[in-house]
Amino acid sequence: MQLVLEHISCTYDKTIMALQDINLQIAAGESVCIAGANGSGKSTLLQVIASCAKHTFGEMFINGEKIENGANHGKAGIVFQDPDNQLFMPTVWEDVAFGIMKRGMSVEAVKATALTVLESVGAAELAERPPYKLSGGEKQLVALAAILIMKPDILLLDEPTASLDPRARKNLINLLKNIRRTKIMATHDLDMALDLAERVVFLYRGSIVADCPAPGLLMDEKFLKGIGLELPLGVRLQENVL
């Protein structure tokens, strides 16, 4: 599903520009990282695409259809940086199933669907547990399952590896590699971008400053430092070895 943003700007408190004149096209099935330092506008951009936030100027199109500002278009699902913002039901399976509970399905069918999706992310054993007792990595998997059950055409992930330990991070990256749909991931984890992205869009102070195939500028230390980022750790370690 093609996404087109034309001249998108987003202003807070009438003076603070979170996004400035964003022009972006993402083709169906692309895996794109939105990279930038904290405060660069990454999260705001994802929220605008998901219609969780309204933009001040510009237009958005999905498959050629203009999306009204803030409209619940249902074509994109967002996994927030903090899974606790998405998990609120008594058990994991109920959290995952929440989005389909009003579709006229029986409780048995809803639970079976939730269990199938949990199985697909390797978290079926968590089904009956209360979300507040999960680890950070487990919460991230459950939050992802809760979005995947809705079958969005565009999967949005906001800092998906933040606060994960190395094993949970590796497991999540391997899982995301196998999800075949349009993926847009906001991150300053440039090692993750190297692992997952076909293309990287760099944000700096709310503006796109570069848009290139990966790895491209992910290997350019001077450019990255200029926008408040560092070379991916794997690249730095390799350079030290050499």
**pLDDT tens digits for range 117-143:** 999 999 999 999 999 999 999 999 999
Nearest to 195 by CA among 223, 228, 172: 172
The residue written with tokens 């919460």 in the block is: 139
Burial 132-147 (b: 16+ CB within 10 A, else e): eebeebbbbbbbbbbb
Same-domain pairing of 125 and 9? no
Do 10 and 62 fall into the same domain? yes
If asked whether residues 134 and 14 sit together in one domain, one would say no
36-62 pLDDT, tens digit each: 999 999 999 999 999 999 999 999 999
Residue 69 DSSP symbol: T
Task: Give the pTM.
Answer: 0.92
Positions of E strands within the chain: 3-12, 16-26, 31-35, 57-62, 65-67, 76-79, 154-158, 182-187, 199-204, 207-213
pLDDT-derived band of residue 241, with 50, 70 and 90 as boundaries? Answer: low
Is 90 exceeded by the pLDDT of residue 217? yes
Query: Are both 97 and 111 inside the same structural domain?
Result: yes
**Amino acid 240: pLDDT:** 64
Residue 71 and residue 88 share a domain: no
What's the mean per-residue pLDDT of the chain?
91
Q: How many domains are contained in the chain?
A: 2
pLDDT tops 90 at residue 157: yes
- pLDDT above 90 (res 238): no
Domain that holds residue 122: 83-151
Q: What is the pLDDT of residue 14?
A: 72
Q: Looking at the structure, tell me whether residues 228 and 138 fall in a common domain.
A: no
157 and 59 inside one domain: yes
pLDDT (0 to 100) of residue 154: 95
Tell me how crowded residue 218 is: count the other CB atoms within 10 A of its CB. Answer: 22
Q: Are residues 115 and 6 in the same domain?
A: no
- 182 and 101 co-located in one domain: no
pLDDT in tens, 60-100: 999 899 999 887 888 999 999 998 888 999 999 999 999 88
Percent of the chain at pLDDT > 70 equals 98
Q: What pLDDT sits at residue 17?
A: 87
Give the domain CATH number at 231.
3.40.50.300
Domain check: are 163 and 196 in the same one? yes
Backbone angles phi, psi at 226, to 5 degrees: -65, -20
